[in-house]
Amino acid sequence: MTERAATLGPVALLRLPQVARLLFSALVGRLPNGMVPLALVLFARDTGSGYGRAGLLTAAYSLGCCLGGPALSRVMDLRGQRSALALGGLVSSCALAALPWVPSAGAIAVALVAGLATPPLEPALRTLWPSVLPPRQVPSAFALDAAAQELIFVLGPLVVLVAQLGGSGGGLVAAGVIGVVGTAWFVASRASGAWVPPVHEDRHWLGPLRSRRLCVLYASVALVGLTIGVPAVALVAYAESTGDRGLAPWLVAANALGALIGGVAYSPRAPHRDPRTDLLLGLGVIALTYAALAWVPSNVVVMGLLTVASGLGLPPVLACVFQLVDRLAPPGTTTEAFAWLISAFLVGSSAGAAAAGSLSDSGRIGGAFLVAAGSALAALAVARVAAQPRRLLTGA
């Protein structure tokens, strides 16, 4: 393997066999991840509910994802990808599409089911990279993945904005349709169908959770998730405070646009950087930029610029975390290890959405962003402890 091969840029990487197909099919199948939180908030508001209920619906969906993802991923680690992804995609999409017609008393339960069955395309994709790429290209693929996934959170809110023209539940129906199409595209790929789980006879019932090093990393990621869970609710509340709720999807997309910029800038550097150092730097950027959002300027242009800035630090953090999870996962548990990473993130995101809903209902939008900044600082503290002489995050 040449040094040049170890430094392929994003465009050259996409030209390699199967890379573009896997990446873009996974992005389409995961587009509901960028749609559902905002679609649930707008659906709740359009049907006369408060931000507290909107936060509960979002939390139920996220909780379902964080429980169902590891379970489906363990099935994939044992039996392969196609059946688990296909069944999950069908059930989740049907639940999302049906949610606008479910009686209010059952809406939270249906949101939970939609989350439980969400096909774990993220861990499936990251498990496949080593099977389709030379080993020294895998860090570049993780970085490209971290950058490209921000398209989900740029395009998702905009798709919701268009879909809402068809009614209060339009965003949820669109998420269901798009999710099942993307999942079908991914599972029809040669790489997904040909992937064979590694055989290991020393499987433990805890799976990847038996690794204390991974658990330390997951704790930090959960705190990052809390930070990222705040904007989906707090930015809608800010938009309504300006008298223009239609501004909300654009602000959510602005946050994701900042992350896309950060990811594109970081991806060619990722193979040459120390993931432990950049993890700490990225968390510091997140903490500072979310603290700036707590100012809550009345000028929407200034708020938009601050929202873009708040997204810059996330992709470097994710790219570093992906590398560390791949390094630390016990043999035969890689898919599940990536799924628990997502679950940790979603646990935090659920808490962040609920906290933001409660604070926004009482008019303390700035307080919601301060909670987000404080959580990022806590994540930084956990990561610093993990990187001390015992070097828990390096596998040493």
Residue numbers of the domain that contains 104 = 16-197+208-386
The Cα 367–Cα 135 span in angstroms is 45
Measured CA to CA in angstroms, residue 391 lies from 164, 244, 276, 295 at distances of: 49, 49, 10, 37
Q: How many domains does the chain have?
A: 1
Residues 6+ apart with CB under 8 A from 271: 6, 7, 136, 139, 140, 143
Q: Specify the amino acid at residue 362.
A: S
- Per the domain annotation, does 6 fall within a domain? no
CA angle at residue 128 from 218 to 329, to 5 degrees?
Answer: 35
- Per the domain annotation, does 396 fall within a domain? no
pLDDT in tens, the chain (396 residues): 344 445 567 788 888 889 999 999 999 999 998 899 889 988 888 877 777 788 788 888 888 888 899 999 999 988 899 999 999 999 999 999 999 998 887 889 999 999 999 999 999 999 999 889 887 778 778 878 887 887 887 788 889 989 988 888 899 999 999 999 999 999 999 999 988 887 765 666 788 888 888 898 999 999 999 999 899 789 989 998 888 877 887 888 888 789 888 887 887 777 778 888 899 999 999 999 999 999 999 899 999 999 999 999 998 899 888 888 888 888 888 899 999 998 898 788 878 988 998 898 888 999 999 999 999 999 999 988 765 545 444 444
How many other C-beta atoms can be found within 10 angstroms of the C-beta atom of residue 46? 16
- SS3 for 253? helix
- CATH number for position 138: 1.20.1250.20
**pLDDT (tens digit per residue) in 276-327:** 889 999 999 999 999 999 999 989 999 999 999 999 999 889 988 888 888 8
Residues 6+ apart with CB under 8 A from 88: 68, 72, 117, 118, 119, 120, 183
- Per the domain annotation, does 395 fall within a domain? no
- SS3 for 108? helix
Burial class (CB in 10 A: 0-12, 13-18, 19+), 264: middle
- Per the domain annotation, does 1 fall within a domain? no
- Per the domain annotation, does 30 fall within a domain? yes
Say which DSSP state 22 is in.
H
Torsion angles phi and psi, residue 294, rounded to 5: -65, -15
The Cα 338–Cα 123 span in angstroms is 5
- Paired tokens of 93: 């999409």
Q: How far is CA 300 from the centre of its chain?
A: 26
- Per the domain annotation, does 159 fall within a domain? yes
Torsion angle of C-alpha atoms 104, 30, 240, 304, degrees rounded to 10: 170
Ordered alpha helix ranges (H), the chain = 10-14, 19-46, 51-79, 82-98, 104-116, 121-132, 138-148, 150-163, 170-187, 190-194, 212-229, 231-241, 247-266, 275-293, 300-310, 314-328, 334-361, 365-386
- Per the domain annotation, does 9 fall within a domain? no
- Per the domain annotation, does 297 fall within a domain? yes
